[in-house]
Structure 1
Amino acid sequence: MISYKNTSRIIIFCPPRKVTGGPEALHQLSNKLYELNYENVYMHYVPQRSHAKAKNYDVYKTREISYFEDNEENILIIPESMTYLVKKYPKSQKIIWWLSVDFYKILMDYRIRKQSFFTKLFYQQKDKEYHFEPLPNVFQWAQSFRSGIYLKNHGIPENQIDYVCDYINPIFTESSQPVSKDLNNKTILYNPKKGKKEIAALIQASPELEWIPIQNMNAAQIKDIMSKSLLYVDFGENPGRDKMLRESVSQDCCIISGRNGSSAYYEDLMIPEGYKFDFREDRIPEIISKIKSVLEDYPNHISHFKVYREMVLGEEALFEKKLKEIFKIN
């Protein structure tokens, strides 16, 4: 169990200048801890850069720290992409936040290959990586049900895993007015950075449909286009609970998705199975048919997304509750 004292520093490790779901979650954590009156909270960017905090995250309160001593009172929040830092601070308490299982595996494979090459070439080097060893001051947060399964498959007991999920940008939930849709708007939204091969195949197979990529937009612009659209399509890898899926349902978009990563689990993507597809070329006509059905009969389809929408809208309150449970003041 984390030991928090009034003198403890909570130090959140984060890559600089990145605008993706993981870094946003880390900045949200800082902001929420400040809202809960935890004052000794700091961002520590690795590697250090000038203007390390992306402007997109100005909405979140943070303070930056460039150096700190390794001691027992520290609580270090380390994203899974930086597990090589676990053994660098042996005295500090450490929480690994598993925001992206797939990203972890890619980076770990790269670091091990790199370390093995230099070890063989130049010198014997002690393995610096964390390999799920039962270290007494290392704790685990799972951002998704899927990452919890991954941890248990690597020997972490269920009672040593806290489920801590971030939440969508507050701009998506700040209005109390219900979303009003134009049922004549038949555009289909998608993220061009995800599921590129699958989306390209769907677009090619449906020249009569209008597909709109969500790109080069800030949060307010994304909210605006989602609030006007009926459908968001996602066939990405989804290593954790995807932000754009959650943003789209907050704006009453229906969703059609693949079954990759966390999307395969109802606990992470709470939509009916009839809206999830194992993508294959022979299933493209079936997927297109489902897309057209949603666009033509939106009022009947949107009712199937109520459970997921309510879960998404409740995530910030649940996030706050979990932090209160974890960071008890002695």
Structure 2
Amino acid sequence: MKVHVLCPASSVTGGPEALHQFVDAGQQLGFDIGMVYLPEDDPDPTPAVFRLYAPRIWRDLADAPGNAVVVPETGTAQLLSLRHATRVHWWLSVEHFQLRAEAMRQAQGGGASAASPLDFVFDPRFGVVHLTQSEYARQWVERQGAPALMLTDYIRDEIVERARRLRTGPKDPLVAYNPKKGLEFTQRLMAASPPDITWVPIENMSPAEVAALLGRARAYVDFGPHPGRDRIPREAVLCGCTVITNTQGSAANGVDVPLPPSLKFDERHPLTVPQVLQRLREALTQPQRFAEPMAAYCRWVEDQRRVFFDEVFTVLATLEAQAAQRARRSA
């Protein structure tokens, strides 16, 4: 069985890194798996930061009964062109899929209740195998009537090692936040915040600069949509921050974001702003109060590489069995 993993060429974001981790783990486990970059004519498709994964690169996609093709939500439509290989959809972000599905629906002039061209992924006739990067995505896919296998991701070793060095260093009364996510509510927090709390946005920074900030900050807040297991909260806890989130997306459950309820807040509640500020005050002045849950969260993040390799073996062994069955039927 050949497993083709489709990935946007030269893209440096969390999704493409997860795709590279998948190919790397599959190769190390002895499976015949490789990356197919799109567009295919990119002369140097592997970003420099991902070259450590050393992906096997295939220029052609072999649509054969014994093979499988894995796509993220950015490549859902490409599964339609397959006729023989097992179709596999890896849900890295439910929201991104929904946005694409809605855009295609509107482009075809469909109303709010009309079907999307991407709805075929849940049609049993297409035999799509579903993988989910988060428990949040798994539950969503299940509500659409399809079972799914978990295939998460992990924070790469160099980031974990750097964070270990940083988290024991001196801390400042800083609160870090991502201005690209949940900014409207974060601005409400900042407007009501006392002047002795310094808020620092994570923007226009290199990965090393982000790590340095998280290593100095005592807290990290994230009130964004949480479309999957987001990376910055995990990097923040590795660097020694107390992490505070909302209850949207994957943050709503304790599997994807294993924080105690006292560190998760519903922005819709009228008392949330003063409650979050009180928790921040405690995190800045009495960080030992949160030492135990942060240590547990940190251990969970550090164990994700091991868990991921176990998941990759389960996924590829399952695909291998299904592909063999499919090949026998077509013989």
TM-score clears 0.5: yes
Secondary structure at the residue paired with 2:161? coil
| Aligned residue identity for 2:242 | C
User: Moved runs in structure 1, 4+ residues, more than 6 A?
Assistant: none
| Aligned residue identity for 1:108 | A
Query: Which whole-Å deviations, capped at 9, do the CAs of 1:272-307 have from their partners, x for residues lacking one?
Result: 101111114642122111111100001222222222
1:258 equivalenced with 2:243 (yes/no): no
Pick from 172, 180, 186: which aligns with 1:193?
180
Offset, 1:221: 3.0
Query: Which whole-Å deviations, capped at 9, do the CAs of 1:85-124 have from their partners, x for residues lacking one?
Result: 222112111221111111110111111222347xxxxxxx
The 8 Å contact of residues 235 and 258 in structure 1, kept in 2 or not, is answered as: yes
- Distance in 1 of aligned mates of 2:121 and 2:5: 21
The structure that is helix-richer by fraction is: 2
- Distance in 1 of aligned mates of 2:291 and 2:249: 24
Paired position in structure 2 for 1:323: 312
Paired position in structure 1 for 2:265: 277
| Aligned residue identity for 1:222 | V
Paired position in structure 1 for 2:167: 179
| Cα gap change, 1:20 to 1:301, in 2 (>3 Å) | same
| Cα gap change, 1:112 to 1:260, in 2 (>3 Å) | same
Identity of aligned residues (%): 26
- Distance in 1 of aligned mates of 2:166 and 2:184: 35
- Distance in 2 of aligned mates of 1:186 and 1:18: 35
Offset, 1:47: 7.3
The 8 Å contact of residues 83 and 129 in structure 1, kept in 2 or not, is answered as: no
- Distance in 2 of aligned mates of 1:80 and 1:138: 13
Paired position in structure 2 for 1:150: 140
Unaligned runs of 5+ in 1: 1-7, 118-125
| Cα gap change, 1:204 to 1:252, in 2 (>3 Å) | same
Query: Which whole-Å deviations, capped at 9, do the CAs of 1:104-161 have from their partners, x for residues lacking one?
Result: 10111111222347xxxxxxxx95752401146421111111111111110114xxx2
Pick from 99, 122, 127: which aligns with 1:106?
99
Paired position in structure 2 for 1:301: 290
Paired position in structure 1 for 2:326: none
- Distance in 1 of aligned mates of 2:309 and 2:62: 28
- Distance in 2 of aligned mates of 1:270 and 1:203: 25
Query: Which whole-Å deviations, capped at 9, do the CAs of 1:208-230 have from their partners, x for residues lacking one?
Result: 32111222333333333222322
Pick from 118, 131, 134: which aligns with 1:141?
131
Paired position in structure 1 for 2:122: 132
The 8 Å contact of residues 16 and 52 in structure 1, kept in 2 or not, is answered as: yes
The 8 Å contact of residues 37 and 45 in structure 2, kept in 1 or not, is answered as: no
- Distance in 2 of aligned mates of 1:243 and 1:283: 24
Normalising by structure 1, what TM-score?
Answer: 0.86
| Cα gap change, 1:128 to 1:177, in 2 (>3 Å) | closer
Query: Which whole-Å deviations, capped at 9, do the CAs of 1:210-256 have from their partners, x for residues lacking one?
Result: 11122233333333322232211100100111111111112221111
- Distance in 1 of aligned mates of 2:44 and 2:186: 35
Kindly report the root-mean-square deviation, in angstroms, between the aligned alpha carbons of the 2 structures: 2.4
| Aligned residue identity for 1:205 | A
Normalising by structure 2, what TM-score?
Answer: 0.86
The 8 Å contact of residues 80 and 100 in structure 1, kept in 2 or not, is answered as: yes
| Cα gap change, 1:107 to 1:298, in 2 (>3 Å) | same
The 8 Å contact of residues 186 and 295 in structure 1, kept in 2 or not, is answered as: yes
Offset, 1:31: 1.9
